[in-house]
Amino acid sequence: MTRLTRVIAPGSADEPLPEIDMSTTLGAWNLANPMMTASGCAGYGRELDQFFDITSIGALVTKSIMLEPRSGRATPRMAETPSGMLNSIGLQGPGIDEFMTRDLPWLESRGAQVMVSIAGTTVEEFSRLAQKLRTSSAVSAVEVNISCPNVEDRGHVFACDATASSTVLDAVRRNTAPSVPVFAKLSPDVTDIVAIGQACVDGGADGLSMINTLLGLAINTETMRPHLGGITGGLSGPAVRPVAVRAVWQVHRALPDVPIIGMGGIRNGNDAFEFMLAGASAVQVGTTIFNDPSAPPRILTHLQRIVASHGFSRLTDVIGHAHRPSPTPVPSVIDEAVAAEPDSAGAEG
């Protein structure tokens, strides 16, 4: 029979939070709590700081930055889909120099932990980005967005090839300050995400961020043309969460000592809790920010109540908890009651 899942309500704003140690570690990187923004959904921090104190969450992840300014792809760039959205922004941004002149100093003045997301089309671009960021004291961690076309290999995406992924991570790791952790952001559009994750770690990644968006396409049935100007786009939102949880589960099971940042359709504390049970040490919130800019602290508060409700006194005990061996099933009162009921089909026969 189907069992009901217990869902913990977020609680009122005036209700005191349970005393739980919500700190987490990602290798040598210590965070006050596991909540982060997802790259591309919160700009460079100023946009969200008017809705909540960005220093209240574990870290802010910037929009992916490239060497040169980019205008992005043709419009329209976004389209709603069932339980999600497609985006085809095209990594629009000011370029690394403008970012380091204007945005990083502001983030440092706010005192936020900053994970800078970088993207490039060649290994050399990734290397140069890492070299530039090495000069800034504002960078807490680097997230390497390898879901970019590799122009040196006929446009193949770095994240879909183990050798290419490892080469990029090796270049970034060698050019990043040793004290700054480097995370590889993995694409789900691969046949073996564990193999790609292992290749990134072999290349020097300190941890893995997963998952990036899934490649999708939507067609406007009135115009009979694709919705997006760029034809295809990245699918995000609640629709991708089971895929993301599966990926985190697989990689944590194969690489239990590698820190994982989980993301994909997180809307509330229950969703975040699920990722951590699967093996994530921290989580990123993205698409839901578009309709609720205050989502990160709201979800963090909800997660804290859920952790306490399950009897945990510290968050780190939740990480990978779903991988523990299954205990011998103990019949519940409901199971015993069902077993005692007469077989109606047999009685009528």
Sign of CA dihedral 165, 170, 171, 176: positive
Which residue among 41, 148, 160, 200 is the active-site one?
148
Mean of pLDDT values over 189-196: 97
Q: How confident is the model at residue 140 (pLDDT cuts 50, 70, 90)?
A: very high
Residues ≥6 apart with Cβ < 8 Å to 137: 108
Q: What is the pLDDT of residue 310?
A: 97
- Rounded to whole angstroms, the Cα distance separating 45 from 217 reads 30
Residues above pLDDT 70, as percent of the chain: 88
Mean pLDDT of 100-114: 96
pLDDT of residue 348: 41
Q: Are 205 and 173 in contact (CB under 8 A)?
A: yes
Name the one residue in this structure whose structure tokens are 């990245």. Answer: 234
Of 192, 302, 320, 195, the residue nearest 245 (C-alpha): 320
Enumerate the H helices of 40-161 as residue ranges: 46-49, 96-98, 104-110, 123-133
Residue 343 has pLDDT above 90, yes or no: no
Rounded average pLDDT over 63-82: 92
Report the predicted TM-score, pTM, of the whole model to 2 decimal places.
0.89
Place of tokens 């003045």: 109
Q: What confidence tier does 327 reach under pLDDT thresholds 50, 70, 90? A: confident
- Whole-number pLDDT of residue 326: 80
User: 24-348: CATH homologous superfamily?
Assistant: Aldolase class I (3.20.20.70)
41 catalytically annotated: no
pLDDT tens track for 209-268: 999 999 999 999 999 999 999 999 999 999 999 999 999 999 999 999 999 999 999 999
